[in-house]
Structure 1
Amino acid sequence: MWQLYQFPLCPFSRKVRLLLGEKGVGYELVKEYPWERRDEFIDMNPAGQTPVMVDVARASAPLIDSVAICEYVEETVDKAAMINGTAANRAEIRRLVTWFDTQFYRDVTGLLLHERVVKRIAQRAAPDARGLRDAMKGAVGHLDYIDYLLDHRNWLAGATMSLADLAAAAQISVTDYLGGIDWKGHEQTARWYRGLKSRPAFRPLLSERMEMINPPAHYDNVDF
């Protein structure tokens, strides 16, 4: 049985969870707050970041980093390929996964997590209004880009759902939980996101809550 070390609003863990759900791979969640710098977790992953995935039955080396975990799962589980198509298609999927993991996280999700989660839970401090405004402004620009992609494609990277969609939905779901998205004017992206939210793999994420922090009323509504 796999164990996945994560915390409820880690977007990279959510990406892994969506992939495991689509492929029907069972796992057990282990709550881990990276900012606590727990010795046992640092021993497992010196970077001190989630997610980390461990096969407790085999006592093998842990899988570290969401990119490495997703590539491992994609290579070892045949069901529901999420990095598929021609070499050019696979390159585009990986490009967009990197875009959402890096650019979206830097401009939006990471800012919100710092201001609304880490500051509140770890530092007992109030969020900075400027940081929140920057995150919401960044979200508008990224949703504009998603609208553009969906104007030309059925899914973000092409004709079929891929890891790019899961990576984007993971970041957006955390941003939406933290109240960082104004959906007005982004019907293309909202329609795409509603489709993903209705999938069985997404349901556990929508029901999960971060202690001390509640999402907006529309967060778990598929027909928001």
Structure 2
Amino acid sequence: MRTLYHYPMHPGCRAVRLCFAEKKLKLREIVIDPWNPDEKFQSLSAEDVPPILTDLTKSGSVTIVGTQTLCEYADESSGRNPLMPGERHDRAEVRRLTTWFGQRFDHEVNALILPEKLETVFIGGTPDPDALREGRAALRDHMSYMTWLLSIRDGLAGPAFTLADIMASAHLSCLDYLGEVSWREFPAVKEWYQTIKSRPSFRPLLADRLPGIRPPQHYGDLDF
């Protein structure tokens, strides 16, 4: 049995959950506390950060770490619902965009907004208005870039639903839970997100709830 150690409001963890759901692969999920991980989780890998997956293979138990690695591991575990295109240049574009969200978006947006909105609830303190302002400005820039991509493509990386769409929607879903996405300003991105949000794989994410933080009313609404 595959076991995923994850945190519900971690964009990378959400992307992995979406990938396994899209591939219709069974997955046991164990939620960890990123601010106080237990010894068992810490013993799994030197990285010591989610997402981490353990899987039982013919060669024995293996431990796999990292969002991109785990997403491609899921895609290669089943031929159903491929998440990577067949042509190598198309796969390169998917990987470019997954890297964009996993690194640049994460650094410019998530790193400034998520800790301020989450840690101040679970650890204490007051959000830094300058960090929030900078992160929100960067978010608008990224949404504008997504708007441009969607003006020339049906999906972010091309005509098909790919890992790039999964990665982007996972990141936006965390911000949306915290009420940080101005959907009215970016109707093309909103329409794209509505389509992905309606997929069966997305339902578990919409059911996620954090103690002390209630999502906006539209978070679980498919026709928001």
Could you state the TM-score of these two structures normalised by the residue count of structure 2? 0.95
Question: Alpha-carbon deviations, 1:177-214, whole Å to 9, x = none?
Answer: 11211112211000000000000000110011112111
Provide the residue aligned with 1:19 in structure 2.
19
Q: Aligned runs of 1:138-149 on 2, under 5 Å? A: 138-149=138-149
**Residues of 2 paired with 1:111 and 1:36: CA distance?**
21
* Counterpart for residue 174 of structure 1: 174
Report what 1:212 is aligned to: 212
- CA distance in 2 between counterparts of 1:203 and 1:158 reads 24
State the distance in 1 between where 2:127 and 2:47 align. 25
Give the equivalent residue in structure 2 for 1:79.
Answer: 80
Is the Cα contact below 8 Å between 1:108 and 1:175 reproduced in 2? no
* Structure 1 position 118, deviation (Å): 2.2
Supply the distance in 1 between the matched residues of 2:142 and 2:129 (Cα, whole angstroms): 20
Q: Bigger CA drift: 134-143 or 199-208?
A: 134-143
Paired with 1:117 and 1:185, the residues of 2 have a C-alpha distance of: 25
For the residue of structure 2 that corresponds to 1:62, the secondary structure is: strand
2-side partners of 1:20 and 1:203: how far apart? Answer: 13
Bigger shift: 207-216 or 186-195? 207-216
- Contact kept? 1:34, 1:48, Cα under 8 Å: no
Q: Secondary structure at the match of 2:165?
A: helix
Q: SS where residue 220 of structure 2 aligns?
A: coil
* Residue 142 of structure 1: how far off its partner (Å): 0.6
Aligned to 1:186: 186
The residue type paired with residue 39 of structure 1 is E
d(CA) in 1 for partners of 2:37, 2:147: 38
What pairs with 1:79-98 in structure 2 (closer than 5 Å)?
79-98=80-99
In the TM superposition, residue 222 of structure 1 has moved relative to its aligned partner by 1.0
Aligned to 1:196: 196
| Letter in structure 1 aligned against 2:78 | V
The structural deviation recorded for 1:28 is 1.5
Kindly indicate whether the alpha-carbon contact (under 8 Å) linking 1:3 and 1:56 is maintained by their aligned counterparts in 2.
Answer: no
**How many Å separate the matches in 1 of 2:14 and 2:50?**
10
1:31 maps to 2:31: yes
Partners of 1:135 and 1:180 within 8 A in 2 = no
Q: CA RMSD in A?
A: 1.5
Give the Cα separation in 2 of the matches to 1:15 and 1:154. Answer: 20
TM-fit CA distance, 1:56: 5.7
| Contact persistence 1:194–1:222 (CA under 8 A) | yes
Once the two structures are superposed, the pairs formed by residues 47-126 of structure 1 within 5 Å of their partners are 47-55=47-55, 60-121=61-122, 123-126=123-126
Partner SS, residue 53 of structure 2:
strand
Runs of 5+ unmatched residues, structure 2 = none
Deviates further, 87-96 or 124-133: 124-133
Task: Report the Cα offset of residue 34 of structure 1.
Answer: 2.1
- Give identity over the alignment, percent: 35
How many residue pairs are counted as aligned between the two chains? 223
Q: How far apart in 1 are the matches of 2:108 and 2:180?
A: 11
Q: How far has the Cα of 1:4 moved from its partner? A: 0.9
Mapped to 2, the partners of 1:57 and 1:96 lie a distance apart of: 30
Q: Can you give the 5+ residue segments of structure 1 that lack an aligned partner in the other structure?
A: none
The TM-score, its normalising length taken from structure 1, stands at: 0.95
Moved over 6 A (4+): none
Q: Which residue of 1 aligns with 2:162?
A: 162
Q: Distance in 2 between matches of 1:9 and 1:109?
A: 11
